[in-house]
């Protein structure tokens, strides 16, 4: 995706956000399109956000959950998707635990595929809605300083955010324990620091990532305890008071309250966490709408 | 049609609107994106000069998401902002566009407009009415000028931008 593609998505997301404020929150554009949501991993926000976006565009939606499907009986990914496509489904939105799953699938099926998260690789629509939210509050992304904090190694949100923000001209810094930052991340042009307080003074917006306990091997400890992680890298009111300017507080969700972020900060005035969720529907409407233009009637 | 003649035509349209809708109670003027907005701005300028005491309520509507040529062809459709400042229940709406060609844009705009309430009436005002190119049964109530151009011929309304250029209507052969 180029920066022009991203700006095109933002332009349409602005108009879809207006649609979401109307008494009738629908447009008829995709009323002859059927979209299958294939979620092989758990999700609340992303799944609901995509489903709402599709329904607001008047598309028909089918939801697939791996836990109640024939995947349990050993059916392969390609077989699963081909069976679904045989029922005249026009587009697929997929979240899968394997990095590259969407790219792999695109080489075997001939429908537009939207990546809703593939393992620890990417989460493109999350990055788009994060950048859109920053743009909404702070104006053009170019020149803005964005800090990403937490478990960078296991975060598809971090990788997608780095890519998207840099394409739009932002400066990106990551902060966290050295054990949770990939060794060669600097090759992406990202600043790496371990002093959270200093990093907070630098940034215009901070994106707090959740500690992904489910991804970390139980035999490997990336930090001594949750308490120590929270002391060093948790964002709380005392830490925020020391920051000289009003920075934006962001989080992709779900929040571990009291670990990476305290409740008063997550629910406070500088937090745009719920704005991110609202913008997610508009951004996903824009992505689906623009991609659907490739499906000729 | 040069700038001077265009000014006369727009003024005449303004007097027709005042004649029909004065004192403009619950009347909403809505420009169709993107080019109807320029005409709406000119109408506003003239009406505020002619009848400064009459209220002026206006908005803009973008019919992109209601178009019937979506996914038919390679043309990339670009959305523009929609801003309707009031609920349209019981309002008299005047839809404003620069050129009426096939009528499909107006059809899409009517569908978009219905998302904002149930107007008492909707009338169409156009600067140029291309009489013989209609593809849906839509006719304007207020017309600047009717012309007999056929499909192969182009009509373009040029609007002054940031003080540069002139307002004018240009007819050309493709």
Contact criterion met (CB < 8 Å) for B82 and A11: no
* Separation CA B38–CA B23 (nearest Å): 23
Question: Residue holding tokens 């629509």?
Answer: A125
Q: How far apart are CA B35 and CA B158, in angstroms?
A: 9
CA dihedral of A39, A280, A123, A288, whole degrees rounded to 10: 70
Q: Is A109 exposed, middle or buried (0-12, 13-18, 19+ CB in 10 A)?
A: middle
Among B61, B126, B123, B124, smallest CA distance to B100 is for B126
Q: pLDDT at residue A128 above 90?
A: yes
Q: Distance, in angstroms, between B118 CA and closest chain A CA?
A: 12
Mean pLDDT of chain A: 91
- Give the DSSP letter of residue A187: G
* Range in A5-19, A23-37, A70-84, A172-186 with the lowest mean pLDDT: A70-84
DSSP secondary structure code for residue B76 in this structure: P
Chain A residues within an 8 Å CB radius of B117: 23
- Domain positions in chain B are 3-173
pLDDT in tens, A4-23: 999 999 999 999 999 999 98
- Across the interface, which of A14, A29, A296 has its CB nearest the CB of B65? A29
Fold (CATH) for B3-173: Rossmann fold (3.40.50)
Name the band, by pLDDT with cuts 50, 70 and 90, for residue B143.
very high
Q: Which residues of A touch B65 (CB under 8 A)?
A: 15, 19, 27-29, 289
Q: CA of B144, closest CA in chain A: separation in Å?
A: 31
Q: What HEC string does A6-48 produce?
A: HHHHHHHHHHHHHHCCCCCCCCCCCCCCEEEEEECCCCCHHHH
Would the pLDDT of B150 be above 80? Answer: no
- Across chain B, mean pLDDT equals 90
CA A127 – CA A194 distance, rounded (Å): 23
Query: Which chain B residues touch A23 with a CB distance below 8 Å?
Result: 87, 115-117
Q: What is the ipTM of this complex?
A: 0.83
Give residues with Cβ within 8 angstroms of A46, minimum separation 6: A95, A116, A117, A123, A125, A126, A280
Nearest residue to B36 via CA among B111, B105, B104: B105
Domains plus CATH for chain A? 3-122+280-292 (3.40.50.1370), 124-276 (3.40.50.1370)
CA A285/CA B96 separation, integer angstroms: 28
Can you give the length of chain B in residues? 174
Least confident of A129-133, A219-223, A286-290: A219-223
Contact A18 B81 (CB under 8 A): yes
- A contact test, residue of B70, B74, B79 with most A CBs within 10 A: B79
Strand ranges in B19-148 using DSSP code E only, listed in sequence order: 27-32, 57-61, 92-100, 121-130, 142-147
**Residues A207-249: tens digit of each pLDDT:** 999 987 665 556 567 888 888 899 999 999 999 999 999 999 9
**Would you call B13 helix, strand, or coil by DSSP?**
helix
* Least confidently predicted of A53-57, A216-220, B56-60: A216-220
Q: What is the pLDDT of residue B72?
A: 86
Binary contact (B65, A28; C-beta < 8 A): yes
C-beta atoms surrounding B78 within 10 Å:
13
Strands B153-158 and B168-173: antiparallel
| A230 in Cβ contact with A263 (< 8 Å) | no
- Which residues from A are below 8 Å from B80, CB to CB? 15
Distance CA A16, CA A10 (A): 10
State pTM to two decimals.
0.90
Q: What is the pLDDT of residue A218?
A: 60
- For residue A38, the cross-strand partners are A64, A94
């Amino acid at each position: 995706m180029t920066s022009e593609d991203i700006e095109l998505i933002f332009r349409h997301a602005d108009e879809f956000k207006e649609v979401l404020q109307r008494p009738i929150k629908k447009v008829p554009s995709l009323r002859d399109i059927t979209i299958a949501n294939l979620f092989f991993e758990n999700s609340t926000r992303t799944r609901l956000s995509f489903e709402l976006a599709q329904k607001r565009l008047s598309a028909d939606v089918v939801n697939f959950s791996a836990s109640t499907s024939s995947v349990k009986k050993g059916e392969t990914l390609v077989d699963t998707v081909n069976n679904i496509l045989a029922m005249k489904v026009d587009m697929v939105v997929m979240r899968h635990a394997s990095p590259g799953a969407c790219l792999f699938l695109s080489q075997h099926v001939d429908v537009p595929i939207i990546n809703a998260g593939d393992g620890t690789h990417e989460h493109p629509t999350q990055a788009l809605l994060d950048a859109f939210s920053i743009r909404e509050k702070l104006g053009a992304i170019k020149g803005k300083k964005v800090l990403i904090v937490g478990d960078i190694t296991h975060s598809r949100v971090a990788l997608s955010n780095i890519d998207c923000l840099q394409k739009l001209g932002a400066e990106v810094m990551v902060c966290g324990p050295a054990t949770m930052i990939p060794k060669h991340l600097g090759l992406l042009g990202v600043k790496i620091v371990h002093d959270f307080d200093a990093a907070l003074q630098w940034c215009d917006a901070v994106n707090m990532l959740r500690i992904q306990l489910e991804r970390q091997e139980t035999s490997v400890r990336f930090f001594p305890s949750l308490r120590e992680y929270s002391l060093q890298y948790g964002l709380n009111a005392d830490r925020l008071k020391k920051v000289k300017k009003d920075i934006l507080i962001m989080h992709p969700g779900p929040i571990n309250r009291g670990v990476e972020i305290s409740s008063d900060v997550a629910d406070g005035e500088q937090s745009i966490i719920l704005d991110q969720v609202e913008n997610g529907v508009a951004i996903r409407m824009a992505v689906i709408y623009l991609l659907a233009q490739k499906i000729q009637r | 049609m040069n700038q001077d003649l265009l000014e006369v035509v727009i003024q005449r349209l303004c007097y027709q609107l005042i004649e029909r809708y004065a004192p403009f109670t619950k009347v909403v003027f809505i420009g169709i994106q993107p080019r109807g907005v320029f005409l709406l701005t000119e109408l506003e300028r003239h009406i505020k000069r002619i009848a400064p005491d009459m209220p002026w309520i206006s908005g803009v509507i973008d019919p992109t998401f209601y178009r019937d040529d979506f996914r038919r062809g390679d043309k990339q459709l670009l959305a523009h902002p929609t801003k309707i400042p009031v609920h349209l229940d019981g309002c008299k709406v005047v839809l404003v566009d620069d050129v009426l060609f096939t009528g499909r844009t107006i059809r899409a705009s009517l569908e978009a407009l219905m998302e904002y309430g149930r107007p008492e009436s909707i009338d169409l005002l156009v600067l140029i009415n291309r009489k013989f190119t209609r593809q849906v049964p839509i006719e304007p109530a207020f017309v600047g000028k009717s012309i007999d151009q056929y499909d192969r011929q182009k009509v373009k309304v040029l609007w002054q931008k940031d003080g540069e250029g002139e307002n004018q209507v240009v007819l050309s052969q493709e």
